[in-house]
Chains A and B, each alone.
Chain A
Amino acid sequence: MYYWNKDAECVDRGELDALRNYRLLKTVRHAYENVPAYKRKFDEIGLRPEHIRGIEDLPKLPFTNKTDFRDNYPFGMYAVPMDKVVRVHASSGTTGKAVVVGYTQGDIATWAEMIARTLGAGGTCKGDVVQNAYGYGLFTGGLGAHYGAERIGASVVPISGGNTKRQIQIMQDFGSTVLCCTPSYAELIGETAHEMGVDTSKLPLRAAFLGAEPWTEAMRRKIEELLNIDALDIYGLSEVMGPGVSYECMEKNGLHINEDHFIAEIVDPETGEPLPPGSKGELVFTSLTKEALPILRYRTHDITYIDDSPCPCGRTFHKMHRIMGRTDDMLIVRGVNVFPSQIESVLMEMEGTEPHYMIVVDRSEGEMDTMEVWVEVSPELVSDEVRTLENMERKIAGELHSLLGISLKVKLVEPKSIPRSEGKAKRVVDRRELYQ
């Protein structure tokens, strides 16, 4: 069995609970005293930090939502002055969906520890060559994985995403032993290697740590076979920390939650009522050690359940099942969060299009996710020239690309051809089978 920090990861549950209680009270006070948004929420319901005496009081705390980040954009959720913030990351979106997060020096160290545990659980150690193909930049994946791999003392190749043939060349030349990227990118790398005639069983590559988008057991088998490796799932979200909030061990049967740093709850997505272990519901996180951005009961909109049965790996951290769905309409396409409302806002601005549209997401075997936006043309737009229509498609695709940061295809369709619905319009057709 591999561990980065066996003392922490296999801690006695009694000791862990005592630690969690202590850290929760500290976090609640820190949030209340330093983040006006939290103070307002507490005051509104007459809650005082001293009313929280332990984890059993957690349900008394109000939820935090993505809208809290939007309402307090960009730095209003921070609990420390900017001179303590050494790093800023942000999630995608410019139409009110952007989430800006900050980290103190201490937070960066905690985060690196989370990733070190994650990579360590798959056997990564000093001497490994970690090819980090997560995107670097505002996205938390790249730098998150980077710092964790450095913490372990591995040699990091900060190649970032894209340029697949070069990824494989580097993998051969540098002797990469560990790969970090999104699962769909790992699949593409594997397929491409085979097309190039590379015998992956001869590569020193041993393990991949794949996250930032949902994937299936079938994809795991395929990636493992293509690259001749162990593929492990990692989970995280920028509001809570970034990648590494939970991680799989070699049992490959659920993700251990770093419970000394986060409390995970499962609640009924409709009522918000807490559900017992084993029940499927919405995952909610409370941070226990974050300094810059303490988070209380953050609603992830991810659907899963908690498995508190002992794991043969010896880790005492409870596990969460891989993500089984979403409670909202957010799509994750090639690691990027996409909300239909963002696409709608672009179409509204565009002359010649109707507000009727449909988003079709697909993932063919061995390919990255593809996204098509079907847009109804208005009768006024239709001309006798294909060029006019093609220009329209290009223009919409360009606008969407600059907003979302991912390329997609725009397809014009006949007016009234997208099914109308009497209730909530069905805007998304997701043909990927992500949640088995």
Chain B
Amino acid sequence: MKVSQLSVFIENKSGRLADVTRTLANAGINVRALSIADTIDYGLLRLIVNDPARAKSELTNAGFTVALTEVLAIEVPDKPGGLAGIIDAFAECGLNIEYMYAFVGTSGENAIVIFRVEKVDEAMSSLQKKGVKVLSGEKLYAI
């Protein structure tokens, strides 16, 4: 049910991000969502792609340092208050959100948002009990 996210360590040097995207393009890998956390000297590029395992090996072969992290992809009702409801559910379950970012594309009536939390499995089951829709990796990569 969990989703694999790639985190790529990138120094703040011009052309480095282009190297990542070009490597993925050449391998025919489709990027579904991304976010960058940056500091003065380096950034962490977080990616959701259609084939995480292959993306990891392609990037590693190209000389990048890549970590795989499990994250949650959650359907968020695409209407005012939709996101607020989900965030409330996190709070009610006592879950801390480490970071989050939006997913490109929708599932039915819903938008998709990626959440990173500490204990993914526990978080998933307690959110599901509250009726929150958590998307599986397979389903997500295929969107």
Q: How many angstroms between the C-alpha atoms of A356 and B7 in the bound complex?
A: 22
Known: A414-B9, A414-B10, A417-B11. Contact between A386 and B65, CB under 8 A? no
B5 touches A414 (CB 8 A): no
B42 touches A412 (CB 8 A): yes
Complex contacts, A385 vs chain B, CB 8 Å: 37, 44, 98-99
Q: How many angstroms between the C-alpha atoms of A412 and B65 in the bound complex?
A: 12
B116 touches A384 (CB 8 A): yes
B65 touches A383 (CB 8 A): no
CB distance from A179 to the nearest CB of B (A): 35
Shortest Cβ distance from A372 into B: residue: B41
Shortest Cβ distance from A384 into B: residue: B7
Q: How many angstroms between the C-alpha atoms of A415 and B37 in the bound complex?
A: 19
Complex contacts, A417 vs chain B, CB 8 Å: 11
A382 touches B66 (CB 8 A): yes
Within 8 A of B (CB), among A131-189: none
CB distance from B12 to the nearest CB of A (A): 10
Within 8 A of A (CB), among B1-51: 5, 7, 9-11, 37-39, 41-42, 44, 46
Complex contacts, B57 vs chain A, CB 8 Å: none
Known: A377-B9, A413-B11, A414-B11. Contact between A386 and B44, CB under 8 A? yes
Complex contacts, A415 vs chain B, CB 8 Å: 63, 65
A389 touches B116 (CB 8 A): no
Partner of A384, one of B11, B42, B60, B67: B67
Q: Does A351 belong to the interface (CB within 8 Å)?
A: no
Partner of B42, one of A379, A413, A416: A413
Complex contacts, A390 vs chain B, CB 8 Å: 39
Contact with B along A364-389 (1 / 0, CB 8 A): 00000000000001010011111001
Q: Does B64 belong to the interface (CB within 8 Å)?
A: yes
Q: Does B69 belong to the interface (CB within 8 Å)?
A: yes
Complex contacts, B99 vs chain A, CB 8 Å: 385
CB distance from B32 to the nearest CB of A (A): 16
Complex contacts, A220 vs chain B, CB 8 Å: none
Q: How many angstroms between the C-alpha atoms of A379 and B56 in the bound complex?
A: 12
B7 touches A383 (CB 8 A): yes
Chain B's interface size range is: 20 to 34
Complex contacts, A23 vs chain B, CB 8 Å: none
A382 touches B10 (CB 8 A): no
Partner of B46, one of A384, A414, A416: A384
B67 touches A389 (CB 8 A): no
B11 touches A382 (CB 8 A): no
CB distance from A359 to the nearest CB of B (A): 16
A412 touches B41 (CB 8 A): yes
Q: How many angstroms between the C-alpha atoms of A412 and B116 in the bound complex?
A: 23
Q: How many angstroms between the C-alpha atoms of A382 and B116 in the bound complex?
A: 16
A382 touches B69 (CB 8 A): no
Shortest Cβ distance from B46 into A: residue: A384
B11 touches A386 (CB 8 A): no
CB distance from A389 to the nearest CB of B (A): 7
Complex contacts, B11 vs chain A, CB 8 Å: 413-414, 417
Complex contacts, A379 vs chain B, CB 8 Å: 60, 65-67
Q: How many angstroms between the C-alpha atoms of A413 and B11 in the bound complex?
A: 6
Complex contacts, B7 vs chain A, CB 8 Å: 382-384
Q: How many angstroms between the C-alpha atoms of A379 and B68 in the bound complex?
A: 11
Within 8 A of B (CB), among A377-436: 377, 379, 382-386, 389-390, 411-417
Shortest Cβ distance from A385 into B: residue: B98
A383 touches B63 (CB 8 A): no
Q: How many angstroms between the C-alpha atoms of A377 and B8 in the bound complex?
A: 12
Q: How many angstroms between the C-alpha atoms of A384 and B5 in the bound complex?
A: 9
A389 touches B69 (CB 8 A): no
CB distance from A136 to the nearest CB of B (A): 35
A384 touches B65 (CB 8 A): no
Complex contacts, B116 vs chain A, CB 8 Å: 384
Within 8 A of A (CB), among B82-105: 98-99
Shortest Cβ distance from B37 into A: residue: A386
CB distance from A279 to the nearest CB of B (A): 44
Complex contacts, A383 vs chain B, CB 8 Å: 7, 67, 69
Complex contacts, A412 vs chain B, CB 8 Å: 9, 41-42
Q: How many angstroms between the C-alpha atoms of A384 and B118 in the bound complex?
A: 12
A384 touches B41 (CB 8 A): no
Complex contacts, B37 vs chain A, CB 8 Å: 385-386
Complex contacts, B98 vs chain A, CB 8 Å: 385
A389 touches B46 (CB 8 A): no
Complex contacts, B69 vs chain A, CB 8 Å: 383-384
CB distance from A351 to the nearest CB of B (A): 16
A416 touches B63 (CB 8 A): yes
Q: How many angstroms between the C-alpha atoms of A416 and B65 in the bound complex?
A: 10
Shortest Cβ distance from A383 into B: residue: B67
Q: List 7 A-B contacts (CB under 8 A).
A: A382-B9, A382-B67, A384-B7, A384-B116, A413-B42, A414-B10, A414-B11
List chain A positions with a Cβ less than 8 A from chain B.
377, 379, 382-386, 389-390, 411-417
The 3 A-B residue pairs with the shortest CB-CB distance in the complex, in nearest-first order: A384-B7, A384-B69, A382-B9
Known: A389-B9, A414-B65. 20 other contacts (CB 8 A): A377-B65, A382-B7, A382-B67, A383-B7, A384-B7, A384-B67, A384-B69, A384-B116, A385-B98, A389-B42, A389-B44, A412-B41, A413-B11, A414-B11, A414-B42, A414-B63, A415-B63, A415-B65, A416-B63, A417-B11
